[in-house]
Amino acid sequence: MLKRCLSAVFVFFFFVSTAKAQLVIEITSGADQLLPIAVVPFGYDGVEALPEDIAQIVQDDLARSGLFQPIPRSNMLSMPSKEEDVFYRDWRLLKSDYVVIGSVKKLPNNKYRIGFELLNVLSQKPVQKHSSIDVGVNNFRDAAHYISDKIYELLTGSRGAFSTRILYVTAEGDRKSPLFRLQVADADGHRPQVVVESKEPILSPSWSSDGRKIAYVMFRNRRPNIFIQELASGKRQQIAQFRGLNGAPAWSPDGKKLAIVLSKDNNPEIYTLDIATQKLERMTNHYAIDTEPSWEPDGKGIVFTSDRGGNPQIYRLDVNSKQVERVTFEGDLNTRARMTPDGRYLVTVQKNDGNYHIALQDMKTGRVQILTETYLDESPSIAPNGSMVIYATTYKGKGILAVVSVDGLVKYRLPSADGDVREPSWSPYFK
Amino acid sequence: MSVNKLGKFAVIGLSAAWLAGCSTTATDTDSSTVAEDATSTEQVEDSAAADSTDQSFGAGEDGAVTSVIVDDSAEATEEPMVDPLAGVDTVFYFDFDKSIVRPAAREALAKHAEFLVANPDARIVLEGHADERGTREYNMALGERRAKAVSRYLTIQGVAASQIETVSFGEEVPVAFGHDADAWQLNRRVEVRYE
């Protein structure tokens, strides 16, 4: 027991050091028409210092979406925290269309009440009624992202994805003693936590549709295995360790099955595994490489990569009939497809003239747009509101994560202080 | 919105989660695997599983995550007392997106084949690798295709298929860390490892 506690203490320090190595946002380009908005520092009547600057987090969230132009604090003529203290002409002068105000109040039960309000400067009226949420001291960031989601939804009409998280793999150390960590962090790169750590490679993390479990590939004893792990408890289960490839797990939208890749029958084929019954069903049958399955949002089809036509391209598999049809035709090759939640767009890694970029194909019109101009782009993963694609790229000789909006206008990087970062996977909404 | 409606914010702090890690027993939570299909008798045993020391720390709701630290004890790689294949190449290189065994590899592979035929109890693992370009799971498949190409070359020379296992590392274990043609060439390889 004591030993266990000592181990836990060790992990405590380990977490502290990891927390410093969080991802930092660097916005590289934004949309053409930005909505000016002022997020005023939240009022607070207490004496103890607050753990986080909520207004700053909200402002950063909104800026990162690429749709808003926050008014710098240094330009603000006043810093009201109640609507009756707002002089709308001050904000008109600053050409701010909207103002967010709020306040923090300490409650007797060790919680904090965070109130906020979104005001329309032109109509001089609140956009919605004053709202408040109560949080513990460790959940100020959650509260801030919640407020960002609300503001985003009120002003754009679509759901915000600031309260979501990302999974990614970091690789550190040299050839002799490599260290791989599967980590989970907030969508803004803050609060990273280690999900699993190993001296052997980890890849292909994938979320279950409720965001509670993940699947991933981890080598053990120099062979790839597929694991399922519950995030909160750390309970994990090895679900495939066949001879050959065990790869590319992808959770079905109903959470019941995993699409996986096995080569136990000689070459890589797509299978589905029913998690409850452990029934394995072979879905493809071709001597070519079939890999990188991803479910369509309605679960009726699986898109996957195959080189059956000579070069790797994306194909669609009908889950019921097992009929296969080709989906991508542009570019020298297309791999690792992911579909937007509305089923409208297909995101792939496309190679043209030796360059690997993230491409977006409109499934209705067939039109293809290259979204990125970074180097060696791979592993695209789409935010649950369909607005952004996170992907891995190489920047200054290091693996980093980057984000691009599906319209290609907004771009930012999430560099890490040390090590290579790769294999991002954007969470679903948490239920 | 009503007060306290957001139950999801009622979260255990991280330090609380670590303390919980003290009070709950950290265990190796690996459960059993899917049953291997009956026809395959060549399933690799997870020999490390017995002495693996998976540990879980922490517990929690919501944001809190429990870390699993996997520390499989080092495999006992027994070196043969006298290496009859000393000086023979064990790494074989490939062209971009190709899995064709180069003519330059033939001489060394013939020596491996000769040894394996003469020693039917000897087992090898052919570990296929790809360069960093392209996607990771596709590169896993490509690495396997290269390992299988070498496997075919050996079986044609009389090596029993049961002596050979093919495994792919994709682009996960490079030997050269650069991002140029020289590094990529060194990483597109199959390594022969005697078990």
* A129, burial (CB in 10 Å: exposed 0-12, middle 13-18, buried 19+): exposed
Distance CA A86, CA B188 (A): 65
* Whole-prediction pTM: 0.86
Check residue B77 and give its pLDDT. 53
According to DSSP, the residues that pair with A381 across neighbouring strands are: A390
Q: Do A138 and B1 touch (CB under 8 A)?
A: no
Residue A318 tokens, joined: 């009908």
For the residues B149-172, what does the mean pLDDT come to?
97
| CA distance, residue A94 to nearest chain B CA (Å) | 31
Give the one of A4, A224, A235 whose C-beta lies nearest to B22's C-beta: A4
Q: Judge if A27-156 and A165-426 fold alike in CATH terms.
A: no
pLDDT-derived band at A253, boundaries 50, 70, 90: very high
For the residues B12-36, what does the mean pLDDT come to?
35
- Among the listed ranges A88-102, A154-168, B81-95, which one has the minimum average pLDDT value? B81-95
Token pair 């980057």: residue: A402
Ordered by start, the domain boundaries in chain B are 8-31+43-69, 91-194
Check residue A431 and give its pLDDT. 74
Check residue B56 and give its pLDDT. 53
Token pair 């395959």: residue: B40
pLDDT-derived band at A405, boundaries 50, 70, 90: very high
Ordered by start, the domain boundaries in chain A are 27-156, 165-426
Q: Residue A235: its chain B contacts at CB < 8 A?
A: 29, 56
DSSP 8-class letter at B190: E
* Chain A residue with the nearest C-alpha to that of B73: A221
Check residue B75 and give its pLDDT. 52
Q: Residue B167: its chain A contacts at CB < 8 A?
A: 222-224, 244
Q: Residue A280: its chain B contacts at CB < 8 A?
A: 34, 37
Answer CATH for B91-194 from 3.40.50.740, 3.30.70.20, 3.30.1330.60, 3.30.160.270:
3.30.1330.60
Check residue A130 and give its pLDDT. 87
B135 pLDDT exceeds 70? yes
Q: Residue A278: its chain B contacts at CB < 8 A?
A: 34-35
Q: Do B172 and A201 touch (CB under 8 A)?
A: yes
Question: What CATH number labels A165-426?
Answer: 2.120.10.30
| CA distance, residue B111 to nearest chain A CA (Å) | 25
A414 pLDDT exceeds 80? yes
A333 pLDDT exceeds 80? yes
State the count of interchain CB pairs (< 8 A) between A and B.
Answer: 247
Q: Do A289 and B137 touch (CB under 8 A)?
A: no
Answer CATH for A27-156 from 3.30.930.20, 3.40.640.10, 3.30.465.10, 3.40.50.10070:
3.40.50.10070
pLDDT-derived band at A175, boundaries 50, 70, 90: confident
Give the one of A198, A238, A335 whose C-beta lies nearest to B33's C-beta: A238
B42 pLDDT exceeds 50? no
Handedness of CA A184, A186, A188, A192 (dihedral sign): negative
The strand order across the sheet containing A269-274 reads A246-251, A257-262, A269-274, A280-282
Q: Residue B137: its chain A contacts at CB < 8 A?
A: 203-204, 247-248, 261, 291-292, 305, 336
B85 pLDDT exceeds 80? yes
Q: What is the mean pLDDT of chain A?
A: 92
A329 pLDDT exceeds 80? yes
Q: Residue A135: its chain B contacts at CB < 8 A?
A: 6, 9
Check residue B173 and give its pLDDT. 95
| CA distance, residue B14 to nearest chain A CA (Å) | 8
For the residues A115-129, what does the mean pLDDT come to?
95
| CA distance, residue B76 to nearest chain A CA (Å) | 11
B34 pLDDT exceeds 90? no
Q: Do B18 and A113 touch (CB under 8 A)?
A: no
Closest CA to B189 of B108, B131, B135: B131
Long-range contacts from B114-118, C-beta under 8 angstroms, 24+ separation = B114/B157, B115/B84, B115/B85, B116/B154, B116/B159, B116/B160, B116/B163, B116/B164, B117/B157, B117/B158, B117/B159
Rounded to whole angstroms, what are the CA distances from A377 to A131, A355, B133, B144, B173?
41, 9, 9, 23, 19
Strand A125-126 with A112-120, pairing = antiparallel
| CA distance, residue B71 to nearest chain A CA (Å) | 7
A225 pLDDT exceeds 70? yes
DSSP 8-class letter at B67: E
Give the one of B61, B68, B141 whose C-beta lies nearest to A196's C-beta: B68
For chain A, give the percent of residues with pLDDT over 90.
Answer: 84
Check residue A267 and give its pLDDT. 93
| CA distance, residue A199 to nearest chain B CA (Å) | 7
Closest CA to A139 of B30, B167, B134, B62: B62
Cβ contact A379:B135 at 8 Å:
yes
Higher pLDDT, A266 or A300: A300
Residue A106 tokens, joined: 């300490």
Which of A150, A214, A231, A430 is the best residue to mutate to test the B interface, defined by the most B CB atoms within 10 Å of its own CB?
Answer: A231
- Among the listed ranges A114-123, A137-146, B22-31, which one has the minimum average pLDDT value? B22-31
Check residue A417 and give its pLDDT. 73
Report the complex ipTM. Answer: 0.90
- Among the listed ranges A298-312, B67-81, B145-159, which one has the minimum average pLDDT value? B67-81
